[in-house]
Amino acid sequence: MDSRTEIKEIAEVAKRLTLLYVEDDIPTRRFLKRRLEEIFGVVAEAANGEEGLKRFLQGGIDLVISDNIMPSMDGIEMIREIRRVDTRLPIILTTAFIDTDYLMEAINLGVTQFVAKPISMDLLYGAIQIAIQRVVLDNLTRKAKEQEIELLRFQDRYHSLQQESARRKERNLIKNDHYLQTIQGKEGEEWVLDALHRSLEILSGDSYSVRGLDEGRALLFIVDGMGKGLSASVTTTLSIAFLNYLIDERIAQGARAELGSLVGDYLRFIQKELLEEEIISAGFYDFDFKRERLSYITFGMPSMLWVNSQGECERIKSSSPPLMKYSLPPLPQEICIQDLEKILLYSDGLNEALLDEETIYGEILEEELLWNRFLSEMNRRFRSRVKDVDDDITAFWVRRVPQNPSASRSYEIKSSLLEVHRLSDTIEEGLESFGIFDLEASTRFMTALTEMLMNAYEHGSLGVERLTKDQLIQEGSYDEYLAKESKPHRRIRVRLRRYEEGEATLLTCEVEDEGRGFDTQTLLQNLRNEPETLTSGRGIRLTKGLVDHLCFKKGGRVSQFTVVAREALFGNR
């Protein structure tokens, strides 16, 4: 049987199967259920292991996909009970928990596949295909050797505790003062600034920071230690730590951080530490959005890619060769950004990634910058198209927020769970009349909207604290708590806007509550340092992974997200 015939047979078999999907997180369950219904004939859902077991015992289940950490009964407990009845049923476990004993217990219970959280749809589809193949071949029994291999494959996706600690330390050295925020420019204009960092190894040769200076001013810097291994990582780590120290000192002293002075102080420090043969690529970009000026000093960096308001792409070459032990400090260059629509700043890793054996990604970068509206959209395309990456990647994407929507709608509701659900249904029913026909974009948008509405209700209106929420979920009483509590004197406001940009439509949503808000820097630290098994921040992680851009305004009381919709599905032009 050739591969096309096999894939066709698997698809036909899947349409005759009933899947049981067990997940306690409502937005995640809602989103994945829609995607799974495209594959299976019937998708039965359950909110925890106890409900999942009850549904399994009713009969007719052909395959199970289950989370593990859930109230009432977790995934492992449910699987243990299922195995008392059926030892051959294919089971896929989604989990962020990597303890060896836990994994071995899951494998001994006959778990067919593991998919790490946050869930990659490609990995999930691969796991489903394997599970269905085993149904087709009627070969679901596990041999001891197969169990060992599956365990090793899963463990290989994770680093040891020491490695994870080192990665966390590296992440904490990176500063992003504008994380999930917009930046105010001239005459009320807004700018978004997104950063991407992909490390090939635990100790990265690339790093960056985004620092807020004066009002409407941001300093971005990338440091790329040329070469590989520990030496390049140490140089990069020293560089980022010292640069952040310099900026913190100037802010504490109330002094203006001048680009030339900062780079000069950095050179005097780092050149003492460089080996004779060592070189560094580095870029320092001082955006003053109020004055509409960009000052920059670059050492051996790839060209900046710039798109103006007419949709024309230009390249701006690096101002200096790579930094060495005896390099002289150059003067800053300055350009006007009055006509700038978006700009891409990046390290060589992005430029040199292989599309195929003969083509590097740098050859299509201009095309990608013009096609994509946000860095997250470009990153998804990059991951789907690039064949091989052999270097760390760091990139900044700065773009002007569109000003004039082609359509807009506003809603206001009392803060109650019933009103939140009604509004979500109303908006979903009206998306086509609002000009959004892209099913994939609509699904991502509605899942994000549901999560942000619940965030506005839970944290904004009710003021549910993180530890309280975790405790109620563990007790299995959180849904009951939300249904019982309400603050009808408070309001939740939603504003939809549609923007047309060439062949793309940008659907932007703002959700505003009347709560205390929150600090995005605290959120950033929580997301970096807290285990993903905690419920805190899980909704924002989910939303950030679904939308093309997410930010918060008014001290965290307004969440704003944008989804790019196109007539063709993602990846087709």
> What is the pLDDT, as a whole number, of residue 407?
93
Burial of 384 (0-12, 13-18, 19+ CB in 10 A): exposed
Distances in Å between the alpha carbon of 463 and those of 27, 223, 466, 479?
20, 41, 9, 15
Kindly report the CA angle at 446 between 441 and 451, in degrees rounded to 5?
130
> What is the pLDDT, as a whole number, of residue 570?
35
Give the mean pLDDT of 441-449.
92
Token pair 């996706």: residue: 157
- The larger pLDDT score, comparing residue 159 to residue 552, is at 552
How many Cα atoms occupy the beta-carbon half-sphere of 221 within 13 Å?
28
Identity of the residue numbered 198: R
Distances in Å between the alpha carbon of 478 and those of 30, 298, 525, 530?
18, 52, 25, 21
The secondary structure of residue 301, as a DSSP letter, is P
- By DSSP bridging, strand 393-400 and strand 340-346 are antiparallel
Measured in whole angstroms, the distance separating CA 48 from the mean position of its chain's CA atoms is 26
Separation CA 255–CA 257 (nearest Å): 6
Q: Which own/partner contact pairs does 120-124 have at CB distance under 8 Å and 24+ positions apart?
A: 121/35, 124/32, 124/65, 124/92, 124/94
Residues 67-87: pLDDT tens digits?
988 888 989 999 999 999 988
Residue ranges of E strands in 449-554: 487-501, 504-512, 549-553
- The larger pLDDT score, comparing residue 122 to residue 532, is at 122
**pLDDT at residue 422 above 90?**
yes
Q: Which residues are CB-contacts of 154 (< 8 A; sequence separation ≥ 6)?
A: 98, 103, 114
- 516: left (phi > 0), else alpha (psi -120 to 50), else beta? alpha
**pLDDT at residue 524 above 90?**
no
Q: Quick one: pLDDT band at residue 209, thresholds 50, 70, 90?
A: very high
* Residue-wise DSSP of 543-571: HHHHSSEEEEEGGGTEEEEEEEEESSPTT
Q: Quick one: pLDDT band at residue 153, thresholds 50, 70, 90?
A: low
Give the mean pLDDT of 143-165.
55
Separation CA 240–CA 323 (nearest Å): 15
The secondary structure of residue 501, as a DSSP letter, is E
Kindly report the backbone phi and psi dihedral angles of residue 374, in degrees, each rounded to the nearest multiple of 5, phi listed first.
-140, 160
The tokens for 333 are 């260059």
What is the separation, in whole angstroms, between the first and last Cα of the chain?
Answer: 32
Separation CA 229–CA 204 (nearest Å): 8
Give the mean pLDDT of 548-556.
91
Residues 483-523: pLDDT tens digits?
777 777 889 999 999 999 888 999 999 999 988 887 788 77
* Residue-wise DSSP of 30-63: HHHHHHHTTTSSEEEEESSHHHHHHHHHTS---E
Burial of 136 (0-12, 13-18, 19+ CB in 10 A): middle
Give the mean pLDDT of 227-233.
75
How large a percentage of the chain has pLDDT more than 70? 87
> What is the pLDDT, as a whole number, of residue 530?
58
**pLDDT at residue 3 above 60?**
no
Instruction: Report which of 233, 99, 69 is spatially closest to residue 160, judged by C-alpha positions.
Output: 99
Q: In 3-state terms, what secondary structure has residue 378? A: helix
> What is the pLDDT, as a whole number, of residue 210?
95
Give the mean pLDDT of 448-452.
92
Residues 364-414: pLDDT tens digits?
999 999 999 999 999 988 988 887 787 889 999 999 998 889 999 999 999
Computed over every residue of the chain, the mean pLDDT equals 84
Residues 314-325: pLDDT tens digits?
999 988 999 999
**pLDDT at residue 54 above 90?**
yes
Q: Quick one: pLDDT band at residue 453, thresholds 50, 70, 90?
A: very high
- The larger pLDDT score, comparing residue 128 to residue 230, is at 128
Of the given ranges (108-117, 152-161, 229-238, 404-413), which has the lowest mean pLDDT? 152-161
* Residue-wise DSSP of 92-134: EEEES---HHHHHHHHHTT--EEEESSPPHHHHHHHHHHHHHH
CA torsion through residues 134, 140, 145, 146, sign: positive
Q: Quick one: pLDDT band at residue 108, thresholds 50, 70, 90?
A: confident
The tokens for 443 are 């699904």
How many Cα atoms occupy the beta-carbon half-sphere of 446 within 13 Å?
26
> What is the pLDDT, as a whole number, of residue 522?
77
> Please, which residues bridge with residue 414 across strands?
491
Q: In 3-state terms, what secondary structure has residue 255? A: coil
> What is the pLDDT, as a whole number, of residue 142?
42
Separation CA 193–CA 180 (nearest Å): 8
> What is the pLDDT, as a whole number, of residue 471?
75
Token pair 């946050």: residue: 118
Separation CA 108–CA 102 (nearest Å): 10
The tokens for 35 are 């995607």
Separation CA 333–CA 540 (nearest Å): 38
Burial of 288 (0-12, 13-18, 19+ CB in 10 A): buried
Helix 161-173 vs helix 230-253: angle between axes, to the nearest 10 degrees?
40
- The larger pLDDT score, comparing residue 266 to residue 233, is at 266
Find out whether 288 and 257 touch, Cβ atoms under 8 Å.
no
> What is the pLDDT, as a whole number, of residue 98?
59
The tokens for 379 are 């990153």
Give the mean pLDDT of 350-376.
89
> Please, which residues bridge with residue 334 across strands?
295
